[in-house]
Amino acid sequence: MPSIVVIGSQYGDEGKGKVVDLLGEKADLVVRFSGGNNAGHTVVVKGVKYKFHLMPSGAIQGKRCCIAAGVALDPRVLKQELDQLKGKFEFSLVIDPRVQIIMPWHNMLDATSEEAKGKQRIGTTGRGIGPCYADRADRTGIRFAELVDEARFMERLDAVFSIKEKTLKAVYNSGMQISKDEIFREYRALGRELKQYLGDVSVEVTDALSQGKTVMFEGAQGTYLDIDFGTYPFVTSSHPISGSIFTGVGFGLRPIERVIGIVKAYTTRVGGGPFVTELEGDLAHTIREQGAEYGTTTGRPRRVGWLDLVLLRTAQRLNNFTEIALTKLDVLSGLDEIEICTEYKLNRETVRERPADIKDIMKCRPVYKKFRGFKLEGKLESFDQLPKEAKEYVQFIEKELNVPVKIVSIGPGREETIFR
């Protein structure tokens, strides 16, 4: 099984970290191809929690980890994660020279631009992701190859610093809170430390695939945070959908054996933007608390709602999942009744796929099918051992989406997983 892609099918935080960790055992390479430290993956091994923002979750399996060209990398954050992992896990790391570096002004611009947007604010993670990708497109970005080469870094810093200083002042009436000299010293040290990881991920992954090795592509965020296909402008600035492995890593189109869609058994969203099946009140509170639905990166309470099949049908079209991993089924345990949104009403019309325009999505009302609740109790090791109502819930999803649910996750630990 040479290529495995793990993709969030909803708004992120579906539990990709756990699935990558589980299946990573069989992988030769684990590759991050988009996003940055806006992501927060939590992996629980033998009761110990590990949180990653940038490092591929394969690190704790001692894998060769790759950070590919499509990633926005904050070297301060990477250094912290490496310091936590070193000595505990025997992984190796390679970072592509083309990776864009998140600089201090990106964090400042993220904060000031959110403030300036007022009611239209996106609710970003504040990690500088948008401004960093904007600079990539503007060609004022600094790449990893430049960070690790002192003379080139100085040259780029000279060219970019004054532009950013002027932008912060002129557009946002805000100052640069750090001097060019301070940045130079701090980032030179980071560059020196990280230089050992420089390597062409595009070449490494292509070679590995040609040799029949198993490569796992670890998605970050979710389908509806995609900059083009998500709920724009309430999206992130990268492409979390499956097709972006080709441009994010740099290899030509080829068949991909497994595209695993991670589907949370209900829906959550952090930040602003439409959420058709959103719940409020006691029920939302219960699900949020049972599922510990607080952001891994920012600690914000996640908005919660019922599972949305309209959203998932379109996610299936955008990603072409070969299978689904259904996570957090245990969180629904104990509820008397569970609902699934099967279609939307848009004015008088019935809608079964997501409208392309956010204006229409805002007007959509959910149509629900009710399911009897279930209780997950005792040691559950196979699908057959699940209560009848839980099986019905899972089987309804796979029938509606026409994709097999091959993994059912019933807790954060590795052992709390049912394979089918």
Please choose, from the candidates 406, 247, 217, the residue with its C-alpha nearest in 3D space to the C-alpha of residue 325. Answer: 406
Q: Which of 296, 314, 319, 342 binds Mg ion (CB under 5 A)?
A: 296
What sign does the dihedral 175-180-186-188 (CA atoms) show? Answer: positive
Burial of 377 (0-12, 13-18, 19+ CB in 10 A): exposed
128 binds, among ligand IMP, ligand GTP, Mg ion, none (CB under 5 to 8 A by kind): none
Contacts 24+ apart (CB under 8 A), 344-347: 344/276, 344/310
Task: Work out what residue 15 binds among ligand GTP, Mg ion, ligand IMP, none; the CB cut-off runs from 5 to 8 Å by kind.
Answer: ligand GTP
Q: Which member of 4, 6, 71, 129 binds ligand IMP (CB under 6 A)?
A: 129
271 binds ligand IMP (CB under 6 A): yes
CB of 346 to ligand GTP, least distance (A): 28
Work out which of 2, 17, 75, 128 binds ligand GTP, going by CB under 6 A.
Answer: 17
Binding segment for ligand GTP among 139-147, 209-217, 220-228, 382-390 (CB under 6 A)?
A: 220-228
Q: Where are the strands (E) in 104-207, listed by range?
A: none
User: Is 41 or 313 the residue whose CB approaches ligand GTP more closely?
Assistant: 41
Q: What are the CA-CA distances from residue 215 to residues 1, 2, 3, 54, 221 (Å)?
A: 9, 6, 5, 18, 20
- Tell whether residue 270 is a contact of ligand IMP (CB under 6 A): yes
Pick the binder of ligand IMP from 9, 34, 38, 223 (CB under 6 A): 38
298 contact partners, CB below 8 Å, separation of at least 6: 125, 126, 270
By CB under 6 A, tell whether 132 contacts ligand IMP: no
- The answer to whether residue 285 is catalytic is no
Place of tokens 């579906």: 14
Per CB under 6 A, contacts with ligand GTP among 44-83 are: 44
Question: Among the candidate windows 38-46, 53-61, 237-245, 251-259, which touches Mg ion by CB under 5 A?
Answer: 38-46
CB 226 within 8 A of CB 241: yes
Instruction: Identify the DSSP state of 227.
Output: T
Is 384 known to be catalytic?
no
User: Which one is catalytic: 21, 28, 41, 330?
Assistant: 41
Alpha carbon distances (Å) from 76 to 37, 42, 194? 10, 20, 10
User: Is the bond into 255 cis (omega within 30 degrees of 0)?
Assistant: no
- Contact window for ligand GTP (CB under 6 A) among 26-34, 38-46, 157-165, 170-178: 38-46
Parallel, antiparallel, or unpaired for β 365-372 and 337-346?
A: antiparallel
Show the binding pattern over residues 327-366: x = contacts ligand GTP (CB under 6 A), - = does not.
Answer: xx-xx-----------------------------------
Comparing C-alpha atoms, which of 365, 366, 385 is closest to residue 375? 385
- Interacting residues toward Mg ion by CB under 5 A: 13, 40, 296
- Rule CB under 6 A: which residues touch ligand IMP? 11-13, 38-40, 122-125, 127, 129-130, 220-221, 225, 234, 236-237, 270-271
Catalytic residues: 13, 41
- Which residues of the shown chain bind ligand GTP in the complex (CB under 6 A)? 8, 12-18, 39-42, 44, 220-222, 291, 296, 327-328, 330-331, 409-412
